[in-house]
């Protein structure tokens, strides 16, 4: 009964903290400058990627080092639409410099927002579906799957860099002007895009929370803790792993589209190996297996990177590296794990105090009866 009461109290506190965090984000334009607000918008887009990665790594036990590809695909879909809108439907400048005489056929559909925006989610999902089907069905797991996703990153980056006439090469795609007719440099547009990012982050969190608290989420945890046991009791791990991998890729594609809107450029370096590893570090620092930890980790790491690079332009990488070392060595469960440990310690101390008080009262009652 006591445990149930404590759980109810924790759930209410957790819900109130989430509501307070959302309100704090919604009020951010009131106390942040335009520059800081734009940085926060980018960090919130990164948090959506972290949510998807936590869903597949923290709850399913599959470590992917290829989420930069899904992120980049979503970003390029949005960038292609924005570039064509900026050029008025004409051939983009980098294609002219590369000697092309017309817009490639696969660029044509990106003239329309109703195609480009869904494609930013659908293409990463389709790639994840293909890769996941070939790997999970053949029971490629663990470090082999991780190496395969890293190879996918190398292939994608090489392809995007090599096809300069179609992708902009190492320079990427930039020079965006408007989104659905709204000037991207206008302060009102930036404010709208910030609120859109907050809404999508909340929706992504609610989706992931629904999944992990549902029957599917319990099966995912069972697969993480013992895949063979889950298979022996009648579940097909490959089907659930494929499903969650596609959901994770879709969230990464959504984050990529939002990232382009806030930053105004996308290049192959954004979808490289280093960004993919950084995404894993966000989840590890925040605490994998806890959705809120993924959000905290993404915002905290990128905020630290920005703040340290401003304060210590020559040595900020050493500070950031030290932060990761401290996290791995002393905080294996991340920041949320530290908070949970402190909460457990305080709760144990409170119970110990209550027990001692009850023993004291019991002793006094017995002594009074004897007297």
In this predicted model, what pLDDT tens digit does every residue of 202-261 receive, in sequence order? 999 999 999 988 888 888 888 888 878 888 887 888 888 899 999 999 999 999 999 999
DSSP state, residue 178: E
The pLDDT value given to residue 1: 46
In this predicted model, what pLDDT tens digit does every residue of 116-141 receive, in sequence order? 899 999 999 999 999 988 888 888 77
> pTM surpassing 0.95?
no
Q: In this model, does residue 364 exceed pLDDT 60?
A: no
SS (H, E, C) 285-316: HHCCCCHHHHHHHHHHHHHHHHHHHHHCCCCH
52-56, 185-189, 332-336: least confidently modelled range:
332-336
The confidence band for 355, taking pLDDT boundaries of 50, 70 and 90, is: low
In this predicted model, what pLDDT tens digit does every residue of 109-120 receive, in sequence order? 888 888 889 999
Contacts of 106 (CB under 8 A, 6+ apart): none
What Rg value do the Cα atoms of the chain yield, rounded? 24
In this predicted model, what pLDDT tens digit does every residue of 240-257 receive, in sequence order? 889 999 999 999 999 999
Q: Mean pLDDT for the chain? A: 81
């Amino acid at each position: 009964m006591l445990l149930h009461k404590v759980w109810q109290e924790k759930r209410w506190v957790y819900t109130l903290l989430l509501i307070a965090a959302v309100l704090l984000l919604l009020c951010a334009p009131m106390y942040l400058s335009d520059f800081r607000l734009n940085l926060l918008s980018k960090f919130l887009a990164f948090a959506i990627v972290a949510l998807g990665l936590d869903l597949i790594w923290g709850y399913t036990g599959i470590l992917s080092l290829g989420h930069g590809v899904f992120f980049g695909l979503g970003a390029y879909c949005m960038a292609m639409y924005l570039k064509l809108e900026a050029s008025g439907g004409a051939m983009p400048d980098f294609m002219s410099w590369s000697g092309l005489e017309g817009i490639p056929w696969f660029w044509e559909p990106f003239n329309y927002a109703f195609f480009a925006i869904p494609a930013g989610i659908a293409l990463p999902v389709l790639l994840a579906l293909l890769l996941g089907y070939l790997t999970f069905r053949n029971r490629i797991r663990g470090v082999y799957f991780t190496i395969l996703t890293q190879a996918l990153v190398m292939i994608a980056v090489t392809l995007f860099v090599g096809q300069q006439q179609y992708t902009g090469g190492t320079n990427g795609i930039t020079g965006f002007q408007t989104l659905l007719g709204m000037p991207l440099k206008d302060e009102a547009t930036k404010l709208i895009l910030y609120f859109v990012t907050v809404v999508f982050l909340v929706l992504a969190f609610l989706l992931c929370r629904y999944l992990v608290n549902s029957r599917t989420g319990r099966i995912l945890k069972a697969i993480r803790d013992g895949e063979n046991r889950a298979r022996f009791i009648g579940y097909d791990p490959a089907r659930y792993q494929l499903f969650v991998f596609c959901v994770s890729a879709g969230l990464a594609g959504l984050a990529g589209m939002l990232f382009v809107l806030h930053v105004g450029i996308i290049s192959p370096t954004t979808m490289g190996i280093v960004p993919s590893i950084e995404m894993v570090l966000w989840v590890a620092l925040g605490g994998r297996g806890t959705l809120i930890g993924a959000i905290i980790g993404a915002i905290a790491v990128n905020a630290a990177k920005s703040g340290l690079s401003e304060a210590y332009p020559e040595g900020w990488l050493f500070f950031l590296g030290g932060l990761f070392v401290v996290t791995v060595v002393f905080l294996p469960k991340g920041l949320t794990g530290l908070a949970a440990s402190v909460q457990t310690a305080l709760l144990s101390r409170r119970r110990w105090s209550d027990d001692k008080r009850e023993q004291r009262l019991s002793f006094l009652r017995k002594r009074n009866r004897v007297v």
